[in-house]
């Protein structure tokens, strides 16, 4: 599964893990810290690593040595001097991006979206497969074929790939790889890590899709270096991943960041969660379609029709998107007021129409944010589905670094 392939690729004798277990790379905390810092913020010299991590230079050198020997880190040419006027030139440490590849797959109710990423989470290949049946067995069959196609196609990724990250919407236990409940797939208590591992022969991680996307932003995106940030996703559901004090918040009861179910209108529509006037009951894709159909009295109207009409200047449809944007902005203000993140990224497939939302999201946010919470910068940008798959791969990369 992970054969010796020649140049620059250590054989089994130097592998610190068994092929099957796909455990984390480094057992020592210092090595984990060094690898994480270089991966997310590198290239970095040993001196700046030591300063940043509160370690001695000798400890950094010791921690980095096995990672260099295994080909995960390498030294760039010396570019930097360690002190004013004196000292040896320092060679920054950098990650060898093509040392290992990772497959990431987002599972939706009607499609699998897959990517191959390198160690720096750069997408190297993509593929999609339609799903006609969300039954677990049927999905696993399609998943196996998608993964085979990605690894055996152009790029020759198979020999350097041991890990697969899966992202699923709903209630997912990352530690056990169990999908407790995924409403769109209608799955309950599916031991997905075990089943997908058996099907593909890869070491599998399973994570909630919004949390996976948040992990990607935290390690490889706009969240790098931020002690706290929030990622809000707009689409079928309205989700939110939160990083506080450098850690992803998962919630003591398994729920956190459910911005979609913050009540923003006490007289608003009933929500599928049993609540009333939730952000999602006003701004989720289904809710927008329902309101759009009522506004123009056309029962067959699709979301694409609604977007086209609103862009064409139909004020009735414009009002539907304005209401949705305001609800999202109000929900985001609640996050800023409660948590005070350094920045908030608003994204998701629903923002393909972000020209219709953006001004209303910002206005709703500014109206409701308390005092200096309104200073929190909002990045509003659309997000293709491949980014969700990249999020799944990012969680897989994290599992290489941190057990
Ligand atoms: Zn709700």
Helix residue ranges, H only, 297-383: 303-311, 315-339, 354-368
In this structure, is residue 6 part of a structural domain? no
Tokens coding 290:
């329902």
Distance 64 CA to ligand 1 centre (A): 48
To 5 degrees, how large is the angle CA 155–CA 160–CA 166?
90
Whether 181 and 259 share a structural domain? no
In this structure, is residue 252 part of a structural domain? yes
Whether 32 and 117 share a structural domain? no
Query: Where in the sequence is the domain holding 40, given as residue range(s)?
Result: 24-95
In this structure, is residue 7 part of a structural domain? no
Question: Domain boundary residue among 78, 95, 112?
Answer: 95
Tokens coding 93:
């440490």
The secondary element (H helix, E strand) that includes residue 103 is strand 101-107
Whether 232 and 278 share a structural domain? yes
Distance 259 CA to ligand 1 centre (A): 9
In this structure, is residue 10 part of a structural domain? no
Whether 118 and 208 share a structural domain? yes
Is pTM, for the whole model, over 0.75? Answer: yes
- Are 364 and 397 contacting, i.e. CB atoms less than 8 angstroms apart? no
Distance 274 CA to ligand 1 centre (A): 6
Distance 369 CA to ligand 1 centre (A): 21
In this structure, is residue 39 part of a structural domain? yes
Whether 40 and 179 share a structural domain? no
In this structure, is residue 37 part of a structural domain? yes
Distance 281 CA to ligand 1 centre (A): 6
Q: E-strand spans in 119-254?
A: 123-130, 161-168, 171-173, 178-182, 187-190, 203-208, 229-234, 238-244, 247-248
The neighbourhood of ligand 1, an ion, using CB within 5 A, equals 261, 271, 273, 275, 278
Q: Which residue has the tokens 């990224």?
A: 345
- Give whole-number Cα distances, 149 to 65, 129, 159, 163, 385, in Å: 36, 10, 14, 15, 18
Distance 71 CA to ligand 1 centre (A): 48
- Can you say whether residue 340 is alpha, beta or left, with left for phi > 0 and alpha for psi between -120 and 50 degrees? left
- For the chain, the domain total comes to 3
**pLDDT tens per residue across all 403 residues of the chain:** 343 333 333 433 334 333 334 667 766 888 899 999 999 988 999 899 999 999 998 999 999 999 999 999 998 887 655 455 545 567 899 999 999 999 999 999 899 999 999 999 999 999 999 999 999 999 999 999 999 999 998 888 999 999 999 999 888 998 899 999 898 899 999 999 999 999 999 999 999 999 999 999 889 988 888 889 999 999 888 999 999 988 888 877 767 888 999 999 999 999 988 999 999 999 999 999 999 999 999 999 999 999 999 999 999 999 999 999 999 999 999 999 999 999 999 988 777 788 998 999 999 999 999 999 999 999 988 778 889 999 999 999 999 988 7
What CATH number has the domain bearing residue 32?
A: 1.10.10.10
In this structure, is residue 13 part of a structural domain? no
Whether 260 and 299 share a structural domain? yes
Helix pair angle (192-200, 136-152), 10° resolution: 40
- Are 89 and 79 contacting, i.e. CB atoms less than 8 angstroms apart? yes
């Amino acid at each position: 599964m992970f054969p010796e392939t020649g140049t620059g690729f250590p054989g089994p004798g130097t592998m610190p893990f068994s092929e099957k277990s796909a455990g984390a790379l480094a057992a020592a905390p210092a090595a984990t810290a060094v690898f994480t810092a270089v991966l997310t913020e590198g290239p970095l010299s040993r001196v700046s690593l030591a300063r940043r991590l509160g370690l001695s230079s000798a400890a950094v050198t010791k921690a980095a040595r096995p990672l260099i020997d295994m080909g995960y880190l390498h030294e760039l040419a010396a570019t930097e001097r360690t002190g004013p006027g004196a000292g040896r030139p320092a060679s920054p440490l950098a990650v060898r991006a093509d040392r290992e590849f990772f497959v990431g797959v987002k599972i939706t109710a009607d499609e699998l979206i897959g990517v191959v990423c390198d160690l720096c989470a750069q997408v190297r290949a993509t593929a999609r497969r339609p799903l006609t049946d969300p039954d677990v067995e049927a999905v696993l069959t399609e998943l196996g074929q998608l993964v085979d196609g990605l690894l055996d196609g152009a790029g020759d990724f198979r020999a350097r790939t041991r890990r697969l990250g899966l992202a699923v919407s709903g209630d997912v236990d990352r530690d056990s790889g169990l999908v407790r409940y995924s409403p769109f797939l209608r799955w309950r208590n599916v031991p997905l890590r075990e089943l997908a591992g058996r099907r593909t022969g890869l070491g599998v991680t399973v994570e909630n899709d919004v949390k996976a996307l948040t992990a990607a932003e935290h390690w490889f995106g706009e969240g790098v270096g931020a002690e706290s940030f929030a990622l809000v996703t707009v689409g079928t559901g309205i989700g939110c991943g939160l990083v506080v004090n450098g850690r992803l918040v998962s919630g003591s009861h398994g729920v956190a960041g459910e911005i979609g179910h913050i009540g923003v209108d006490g007289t608003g529509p009933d929500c599928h969660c049993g609540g009333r006037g939730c952000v999602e009951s006003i701004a989720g894709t289904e809710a927008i379609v329902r309101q759009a159909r009522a506004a123009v009295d056309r029962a067959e109207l699709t979301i694409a029709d609604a977007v086209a009409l609103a862009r064409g200047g139909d004020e009735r449809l414009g009002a539907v998107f304005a209401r949705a944007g305001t609800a999202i902005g109000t929900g985001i203000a609640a996050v800023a007021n409660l948590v005070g993140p350094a920045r908030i990224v608003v994204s998701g497939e629903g923002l393909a129409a972000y020209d219709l939302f953006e001004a209303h999201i910002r206005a709703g946010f500014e109206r409701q944010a308390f005092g200096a919470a309104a200073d929190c910068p909002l990045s509003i940008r659309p997000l293709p589905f491949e980014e969700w798959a990249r999020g799944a791969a990012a969680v897989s990369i994290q599992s290489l670094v941190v057990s």
